[in-house]
């Protein structure tokens, strides 16, 4: 296949499947990010209703895992009864239940303090202050005091590591939710008041036009009618005349090119246009946005015969193509918002003044259209800012098992009480296993000064790894899914198959998706757009912040300031670079073995380092 790229301003590419117009999209810097941050109705990998996991040939090992743990629990209980006349020792229980009432009240106060976010955003809505320096100062000051209070209170009460660790972890997750809520609404407030300014400027321009708004509307209607009268079928395989392709999204789909022997033109474009991650493809007047990284990307351009069949039924929308493009530096709002559909909300028709012969009036009208779209949620209800700035809406967000805020999420139609009961029972049963393993296989084996470090490592590696798996199951499969069911939250993919990871970057992306999406949107993407950092620098900043937060938790838990976990976290960066080498990519089994050995080694090493050194 031969592909040519002309050097005109629209960058026309001729392919056997049609003609492709390529140019930067207004939100191109966020296209790939938005593809990653997508909410859609899904179930978790371990859910019983997941058809893919239920049909997996290794599903029996999952059943065997739980049967084996049940037998371990029975064996340990019988042994404890024979030795101590009690099925389970209460040593660990006395430690974790100490000061339980104070912990519960403290956690409730911190949950209630989160409602500060609503009056903060209302202050932006009523323009008591802007989200610039003043709003950011208030937001980050409150978040710092919030987290600092949780750290200080755990230290002041001299809590055991379970209580202090729980409080600081809950404070960190709550702080992330608050940050996302305040940051996203601050961005929408910026769009909202810029919209009011553009409307004011438009009114000012209209005042100085002879004949006023009525004359402008009449001239615009005549121009629109004239352009619509010129519309007609466009020959197949030729670009539209004159005007650049309008940035829009088409709802049609074409069978995958890979299944018909054709090479996907989008793949060719990715090789030739490394800087473009968002492209407009026009085939005889049909304009479609191709986003790198989206599921629809691979098959958006199909066989030329299929395209001809569809193009024949389309007409060139010359009236719409003649509209000016909105100003490129307009503030963004919901275009950054993860959408639970391949298409965002249905766009409203352009303002009648957008066809005005007065260039300034037409541009202002298009700016207003663009910003009005930025304030509408990417979902079915079309919630418009500031309709979401209510205590009820924030309470809903608090119950949603996600750390990334947006105006609207995919929701289920019903809540199944039996599913909630199942998750409660699963949580209690799994916690019983964690208690048993901790009481009988971890606490007696914790190293003391003078003990053999190698023996301690061998004794702790397996029980700590099992506890990690059980804690993961409680948090992401029981607690998150239970809250999702209670709150009608439809996207249950809180993790992916991290157990198959061959590199550490895969693990970091898959094992904790709520935190990963938060870091991706509010740290990685924000540093790129706000501080103009490169992708490499932004990735380093993201890992640095994550490592510092992990080290903070360890400092609270152990009441020591040691950089062991921080250094282990930062060591993932060179390991990620090694994982990208071709020789490592070709040996996925070896990569998975190295990953599991590293994960199993990390927990006992941390325990030994923080307890002895």
List residues with catalytic annotation: 550
Which residue do the tokens 């938790």 mark?
553
| Cα–Cα distance measured from residue 367 to residue 324, given in angstroms and rounded to the nearest whole number | 9
Note whether 80 and 87 are within 8 A (CB): yes
Give residue 2's Cα distance to chain centre.
38
Q: How far is CA 292 from CA 34, 277, 341, 440, 510, in A?
A: 10, 5, 16, 51, 19
Residue 450: CB atoms within 10 A of its CB come to 6
SS3 of residue 489 by DSSP = strand
Q: Bridge-partner residues for 282, per DSSP?
A: 287
Note whether 146 and 91 are within 8 A (CB): no
Give residue 227's Cα distance to chain centre.
42
| Cα–Cα distance measured from residue 599 to residue 82, given in angstroms and rounded to the nearest whole number | 35
Question: How long, in residues, is the chain?
Answer: 613
SS3 of residue 173 by DSSP = helix
Note whether 407 and 379 are within 8 A (CB): yes
Backbone Cα Rg of the chain: 29
| Cα–Cα distance measured from residue 507 to residue 496, given in angstroms and rounded to the nearest whole number | 9
Q: What is the DSSP letter of 21?
A: E
Q: What is the DSSP letter of 356?
A: -
Note whether 152 and 556 are within 8 A (CB): no
SS3 of residue 1 by DSSP = coil
Which residue do the tokens 């001809």 mark?
308
Which residue do the tokens 């296989």 mark?
441
Helical ranges in 21-99 per DSSP H: 31-36, 51-54, 59-84, 91-96
Which residues, other chains included, contact 32 with Cβ-Cβ below 8 Å and sequence gap of 6+? 277, 278, 291, 292, 293
Tokens representing residue 587 in the block: 């040996």
Q: Are strands 12-15 and 4-5 parallel, antiparallel or unpaired?
A: antiparallel
Tokens representing residue 551 in the block: 């080290």
Residue 203: CB atoms within 10 A of its CB come to 11
Q: Bridge-partner residues for 125, per DSSP?
A: none
Q: What is the DSSP letter of 280?
A: E
Which residue do the tokens 């054709």 mark?
262
Q: What is the DSSP letter of 473?
A: I
Residue 444 dihedral angles phi and psi, to the nearest 5°: -70, -20
Q: What is the DSSP letter of 478?
A: I
Q: Which of 41, 3, 45 is nearest to 22 (CA)?
A: 3
């Amino acid at each position: 296949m031969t592909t040519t790229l002309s050097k005109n301003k629209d960058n026309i590419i001729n392919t056997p499947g049609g003609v492709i117009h390529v140019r930067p999209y207004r939100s191109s810097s966020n296209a790939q990010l938005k593809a990653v941050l997508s909410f859609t109705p899904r179930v978790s990998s371990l859910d019983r209703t997941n058809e893919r996991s239920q049909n997996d040939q290794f599903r029996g090992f999952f059943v065997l895992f739980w049967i084996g743990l049940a037998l371990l629990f029975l064996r340990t209980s019988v042994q404890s009864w024979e030795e101590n006349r009690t099925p389970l020792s209460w040593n660990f229980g006395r430690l974790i239940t100490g000061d339980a009432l104070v912990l519960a009240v403290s956690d409730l106060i911190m949950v209630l303090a989160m409602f500060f976010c609503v009056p903060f955003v209302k202050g932006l809505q009523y323009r008591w202050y802007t989200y610039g320096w003043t709003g950011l100062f208030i937001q980050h000051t409150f978040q710092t005091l919030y987290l600092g209070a949780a750290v200080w209170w755990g230290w002041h009460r001299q809590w055991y590591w379970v209580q202090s660790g729980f409080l600081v972890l809950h404070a960190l997750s709550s702080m992330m939710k608050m940050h996302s809520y305040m940051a996203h609404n601050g961005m929408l407030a910026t769009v909202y008041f810029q919209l009011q300014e553009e409307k004011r400027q438009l009114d000012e321009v209209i005042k100085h036009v002879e004949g006023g708004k009525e004359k402008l509307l009449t001239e615009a209607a005549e121009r629109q009618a004239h352009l619509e009268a010129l519309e007609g079928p466009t020959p197949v395989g030729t670009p539209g005349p004159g005007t650049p392709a309008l940035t829009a999204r088409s709802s049609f789909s074409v069978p995958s090119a890979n299944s018909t022997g054709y090479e996907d033109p989008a793949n060719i474009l990715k090789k030739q246009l490394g800087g473009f991650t968002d492209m407009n493809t026009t085939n005889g007047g049909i304009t479609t946005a191709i986003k790198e990284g989206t599921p629809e990307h691979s098959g958006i351009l199909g066989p030329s015969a299929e395209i001809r069949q569809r193009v024949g039924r389309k007409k060139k929308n010359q009236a719409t193509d003649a509209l000016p493009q909105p100003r490129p530096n307009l503030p963004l709002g919901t275009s950054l918002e993860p959408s639970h559909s391949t298409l965002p909300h249905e766009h409203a028709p352009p303002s009648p003044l957008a066809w005005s012969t007065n260039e300034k009036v037409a541009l202002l009208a298009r700016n207003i259209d663009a910003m009005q779209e930025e304030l509408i949620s990417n979902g079915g209800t079309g919630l418009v800012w500031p309709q979401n700035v209510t205590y009820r809406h924030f309470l809903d967000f608090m119950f949603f098992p996600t750390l990334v805020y947006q105006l609207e999420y995919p929701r289920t139609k019903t809540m199944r009480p039996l599913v909630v009961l199942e998750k409660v029972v699963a949580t209690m049963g799994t916690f019983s296993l964690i208690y048993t393993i901790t009481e009988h296989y971890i606490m007696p084996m914790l190293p003391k000064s003078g003990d053999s470090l190698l023996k301690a490592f061998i004794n702790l590696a397996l029980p700590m790894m099992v506890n990690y798996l059980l804690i993961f199951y409680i948090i992401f499969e029981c607690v998150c899914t239970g809250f999702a069911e209670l709150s009608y939250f439809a996207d249950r993919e809180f993790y992916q198959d991290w157990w198959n990871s061959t590199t550490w970057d895969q693990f970091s992306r898959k094992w904790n998706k709520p935190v990963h999406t938060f870091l991706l949107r509010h740290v990685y993407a924000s540093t790129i757009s706000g501080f103009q950092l490169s992708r490499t620098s932004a990735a380093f900043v993201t890992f640095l912040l994550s490592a510092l937060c992990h080290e903070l938790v360890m400092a609270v838990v152990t009441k020591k300031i040691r950089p062991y976990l921080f250094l282990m976290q930062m060591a993932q960066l060179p390991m990620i670079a090694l994982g990208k080498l071709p020789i490592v990519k070709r040996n996925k089994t070896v990569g998975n073995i190295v990953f599991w050995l590293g994960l199993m080694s990390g927990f006992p090493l941390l325990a030994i380092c923080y307890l002895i050194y």
